[in-house]
């Protein structure tokens, strides 16, 4: 059953995953391309060229993980979970197998990133004290993809209503949180100066947070 579910998941996810795989492969090359345009890598501008692009990696990981998680359950949601009901296996085993299939698929964009990073690193002559980290970056990317996948998979495994509520609240907090808190501070002085996005970022970057991996050092080249 594992193989069938993996194939089923692959069929459902492949087109949605393709842009993220291409991007994961291409962004390291884009970084090197930008550096080449600006001149030699042996320049203090190295970081100023690279740092603005580094947040793209965690964003790609979240996008890839979410795509894999949502496509894992899209088939079931579309068919009213009839297929799962018809299977002679317990529900937990069905979910777990599906979950493991997703973990496997999550490696695809990470491998693409590692390959792109290796090629990019081979295209430039680095300063003496600067090194390329394509493998470490790909591993970090895989972990970040897993974190996003785990959260979205758990949400999608429940009802669509639950998933919608959680996602709406989460996105609302990120997009509208600051203006709402700023408005509320007029009534509640204790909220004055509080920025919800900073609070959320602080919580996300705590060592025990599932999103900690999204923060930190995402540079392809570093000292």
Partner 1 sequence: MCRAGVVLGLLVAAQAVAAQSAAAQEPSALPGVVQPAPALPEAARHLPRLEARLDSLLDVAAGLEARVEAERERYESSTRETLDAPVRRVAGGLGVLALPRDIETATALYETTWRQVFEPIFGAPPAALGEVQLGYYDHRGEWNPRIAEGNGMRYSVQVMNGLDDPRPQAVRAVMTALLREGPIAFYAWLGQAASIDDETDLAGFDPRSDLLGARRHLAATRSHTNVDCLDGDSTACAVSLGLRPEGWTLEEVARAWYDQETLREILTDRRWFRRADLGGQDRFEVGDASIDAAEYFTYRQRGLTVPEGASIDEADIVVLEGTEIFHDVAPASASTRMTLFTLAIELGGEGSVERWLELDPDVPLEEALEVVAGMPVDELAEEWRLRLGADTERPGGRLPVRATLGWVALLGVLSMTSTRWRLGR
Site residues (vs partner 1, CB under 8 A): 42-48, 51-52, 80-81, 84-85, 91-92, 94-96, 99, 103, 127-130, 133, 135-137, 139-140, 143-144, 146-147, 149-151, 153-154, 157-159, 161, 193, 207-210, 212-213, 216-220, 222-223
Residue 143 CB, nearest approach to partner 1 (Å): 5
Residue closer to partner 1 (CB basis): 10 or 47: 47
Residue entry with tokens 């580094």: 54
Q: Kind of pairing, strands 221-222 and 131-132?
A: antiparallel
Residue 67 CB, nearest approach to partner 1 (Å): 16
Residue closer to partner 1 (CB basis): 19 or 200: 200
Contact status, residue 9 vs residue 105, Cβ threshold 8 Å: yes
Residue closer to partner 1 (CB basis): 129 or 187: 129
Q: Could you give the CA distance from residue 215 to residue 223 in angstroms, rounded to a whole number?
A: 18
Residue 22 CB, nearest approach to partner 1 (Å): 22
Residue 124 CB, nearest approach to partner 1 (Å): 12
Residue entry with tokens 């996003």: 148
Residue 47 CB, nearest approach to partner 1 (Å): 5
Residue closer to partner 1 (CB basis): 25 or 149: 149
Residue closer to partner 1 (CB basis): 48 or 197: 48
């Amino acid at each position: 059953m594992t193989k069938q579910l993996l194939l089923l998941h692959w069929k459902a996810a492949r087109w949605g995953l393709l842009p993220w795989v291409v991007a994961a492969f291409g962004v390291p090359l884009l970084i090197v391309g930008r550096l080449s345009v600006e001149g030699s890598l042996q320049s203090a501008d190295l970081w100023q060229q690279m740092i603005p692009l580094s947040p793209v990696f965690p964003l790609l990981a979240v996008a890839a993980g979410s795509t894999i998680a949502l496509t894992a359950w899209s088939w079931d949601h579309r068919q009213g979970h009839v297929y799962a009901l018809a299977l002679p296996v317990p529900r937990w085993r069905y979910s777990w197998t599906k979950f493991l299939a997703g973990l496997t698929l999550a490696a695809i964009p990470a491998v693409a990133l590692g390959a792109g990073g290796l090629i990019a690193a081979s295209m430039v002559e680095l300063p003496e004290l600067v090194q390329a980290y394509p493998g470490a970056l790909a591993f970090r990317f895989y972990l970040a993809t897993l974190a996003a996948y785990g959260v979205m998979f758990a949400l999608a495994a429940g009802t669509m209503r639950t998933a919608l509520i959680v996602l709406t609240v989460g996105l609302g907090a990120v997009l509208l949180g600051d203006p709402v808190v700023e408005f509320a501070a007029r009534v509640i002085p204790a909220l004055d100066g509080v920025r919800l996005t900073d609070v959320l970022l602080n919580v996300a970057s705590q060592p025990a947070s599932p999103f900690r991996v999204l923060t930190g050092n995402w540079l392809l080249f570093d000292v």
